[in-house]
Structure 1
Amino acid sequence: MFEKITVATDGSDHASEAIRIACDLAKKYNSKLHIVHTPQAIGDTLIVGYTAVPVPPTKEEIEKSGREVIGAAESEVREAGITDFTSQLVSGDPAHAIVEEAKAHKSDLIVMGRRGLGSLSGLLVGSTTTKVSQLAPCAVLTVK
């Protein structure tokens, strides 16, 4: 049924559950698994007097954080007994990047965590999960 599965991770508990379910499906259907992560720049804020100054992370910090997330996902997949998998760290808008990775790997299914809208920008723009569901050329399974 599912020959190729793409699983998206952001390092959250929801993503960890998505990885667990993707591994279960991969075992059941003897599927190839592809892990994708799109690191996002979340900076700190420096308070100077009465002024808050945003301090964006460096490119190196973003890449290091991304490698840590993808490495943790790979460990989860190995612990689940899956050996036939690939992983990719990609940049850009997460929804578009996930869909493009799924297309590139000819995935039959995208598995990802579902999260509530936690910010005003999320309300206005829509969540990554919603965007992936709208753009994906294949089935999308969202998990809590």
Structure 2
Amino acid sequence: MGVVRARHADLGSGRGLGDAVVNPGKGPAGGADRDVQPGHSDHASAKIKVEVRLMLGLLAYDGSPDAQHAVALANALAWPSDSTLRVVTVVEPTSMIMVTPWSSGALKATLEVEAQALALYETAQADVVKRAERPGLRLESAILRGRPATVLVEEAATSGADVMIVGSRGQGTIAELVLGSVSAEVVEHAACPVLVARTPAVRRILFASDGSRPALAAEALLVDWSIFEGLPIQVVSVADVVRPWHTGIAPTMYRQVIEAHAKDLEVARADQDRVATSSAARLHEAGRDAHSLIRTGDPATQIIAAAAEDGADLIVIGSRGLTGLSRVLLGSVARNVIHGSAASVLVVRAEGDA
């Protein structure tokens, strides 16, 4: 297993309840070059110089059933050699009781409960780390204290994480929510891409593109991240033109309105066809197995349907599209896709949008 370092702060000392490092390696900083022999090439003797980008992934873990999906997906990803996976658990502190001569017993009981919870989380984390062990992957674990969503967003920013993996729901009290409040807030505010895990692996990818800055940033990740190597990618763009109301249109104008709508739809489909075709071509040129698809209708509905029809277990989408307000961190299409899809969803924002 290698060297293990552990640090446990006092329960009342705030963040940093536990920190452990397993299998220390080179770490995520920098990158490594490797020579790759092209497969099935007419020029078998040619070598392509590929830069392998090391990654730092944060795995948010709270012991919930949905967190187990996140663990399974993190373990299934083909992390580049010498990358780091950091398992982070955030313990929300119990409300402290004012110390008075008659409340010392209650304070002692509160601290005992917190100590028991910490011990349970440490045991659960150790199991997660053990399940994730593999050659070439540096594993870290940390138990932090504070408001979960806030601490996770701060941890992503301070650590320089490439991606944060979260379950769709946590240990909240309303189990029927499609996306838990912690996961939703992390998706909304994290500076790094956030992977909402619902599937145990990634075998097929649907990339939703509209040509916006976040979509182009997502496309760049599909090229840069070696975890997507060899996976088929369906690039889908959706032409969305609002249908005219039947009421309130003079009978003499109805035909003109319908013809104008058909023309607008034709133009929109041509625009989105260029977006999808160009994106698929760039991905293909970068060595990805990418194909394009055009659909018409409500973007979120069509993206979810396309993923289901293609059997995609991962949807990659920009945080907001061309129609999104610049002050909105997460657009309605991305939000609706996260809430409505059975597939895992990777949300990517453009640099400077966080």
TM-score by length of 2: 0.33
Give the match for residue 325 of structure 2. 118
Q: Give the counterpart letter for 1:80 in structure 2.
A: A
Matched, 1:13 2:213: yes
Separation in 2, partners of 1:131, 1:96: 8
Matched, 1:134 2:339: yes
Displacement of 1:105 after TM fit? 1.0
- SS in structure 2 opposite 1:34? strand
The number of residue pairs the alignment matches comes to 127
Displacement of 1:70 after TM fit? 1.3
Separation in 2, partners of 1:99, 1:26: 25
List aligned pairs for 1:80-99, cutoff 5 A: 80-82=286-288, 84-99=289-304
- SS in structure 1 opposite 2:221? helix
- SS in structure 1 opposite 2:296? coil
Do the aligned residues in 2 keep the contact of 1:14 with 1:115 (CA within 8 Å)? yes
Q: Among residues 303, 306, 311, which one is paired with 1:106 in the alignment?
A: 311
Do the aligned residues in 1 keep the contact of 2:211 with 2:275 (CA within 8 Å)? yes
Higher RCO by CA contacts (8 Å cutoff, separation 6 or greater): 1
Displacement of 1:60 after TM fit? 2.4
| Higher Rg | 2
Q: 1:100 to 1:107 in 2, by over 3 A?
A: same
Do the aligned residues in 1 keep the contact of 2:314 with 2:346 (CA within 8 Å)? yes
Q: Give the counterpart letter for 1:13 in structure 2.
A: R
Q: Please list every run of at least 4 consecutive aligned residues from structure 1 whose deviation after the TM superposition is greater than 6 angstroms.
A: none
Q: 1:24 to 1:4 in 2, by over 3 A?
A: farther
Displacement of 1:24 after TM fit? 4.2
Q: Give the counterpart letter for 1:138 in structure 2.
A: A
Unaligned runs of 5+ residues in structure 2 are: 1-200, 243-259, 350-354
Deviations 1:1-45 (A, max 9, x none): 311010000011111111222344576452111111002339xxx
Give the match for residue 47 of structure 1. none
Question: How large is the Cα RMSD of the aligned pairs?
Answer: 2.7
Give the match for residue 275 of structure 2. 69
Unaligned runs of 5+ residues in structure 1 are: 43-54
List aligned pairs for 1:16-95, cutoff 5 A: 16-25=216-225, 28-41=228-241, 58-82=264-288, 84-95=289-300
- SS in structure 2 opposite 1:58? helix
| Bigger helix share | 1
